[in-house]
């Protein structure tokens, strides 16, 4: 099966939102998804997303990312989410997406790519290690939700 990796556009947001919700169930945290289709459309100018699409146009995976700056290393690309639908796993789609992210990072002169992986997700950890990633077990993520009253 041929898979095409391409930049997502607003016409893809509905499908991407469905995949985000599917991913949150896989992560066992569906309650954390608060984004809406309307918000995705409103924030389309800052949204960076790649999709993996089959020959017949079905989107089966996505990767969201943004550029960041780290005081210790400089310009970086942050891979926010990478998800492949369960029925399409083990077909190198995740590798194609990650290779595309790496290519974007290189083309944009980034010094590194950073992302998270759940400690329980040994398959993902193994995959990332095979790709050459170093898994940092020192740092812990912090989220501060900004509430608008």
- φ, ψ of residue 116 to 5 degrees: the values are -105, 155
Give the Cα separation of 132 and 128 in Å (integer): 6
Q: Which residues contact 148 (CB under 8 A, 6 or more apart)?
A: none
Active-site option among 65, 78, 83, 128: 128
Residue 128 known to be catalytic:
yes
Nearest C-alpha neighbor of 88 from the set 60, 50, 128: 60
- Enter the tokens of residue 3: 């898979």
CA 78 to chain centre: 9
The DSSP code sequence of 58-107 is -EEEEEEEEEEEETTTEEEEEEEEEEE-GGGTTSSHHHHHHHHHHHHHHH
Enumerate the active-site residues.
128
């Amino acid at each position: 099966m041929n898979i095409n990796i391409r930049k997502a556009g607003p016409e893809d947001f509905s499908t991407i939102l469905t995949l985000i919700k599917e991913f949150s169930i896989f992560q066992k945290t569906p309650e954390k998804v608060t984004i809406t289709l309307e918000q995705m459309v409103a924030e389309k100018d800052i949204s960076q997303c790649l999709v993996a699409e089959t020959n017949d146009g079905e989107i089966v995976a996505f990767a969201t990312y943004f550029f960041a700056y780290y005081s210790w290393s400089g310009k970086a690309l942050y891979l926010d989410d990478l998800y492949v639908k369960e029925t399409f796993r083990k077909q190198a789609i995740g590798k194609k997406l990650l290779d595309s992210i790496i290519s974007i990072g290189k083309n944009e002169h980034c010094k590194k790519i950073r992302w998270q992986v759940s400690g329980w997700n040994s398959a993902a950890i193994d995959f990332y290690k095979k790709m050459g990633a170093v898994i940092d077990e020192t740092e812990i993520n912090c989220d501060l939700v900004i509430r608008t009253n």
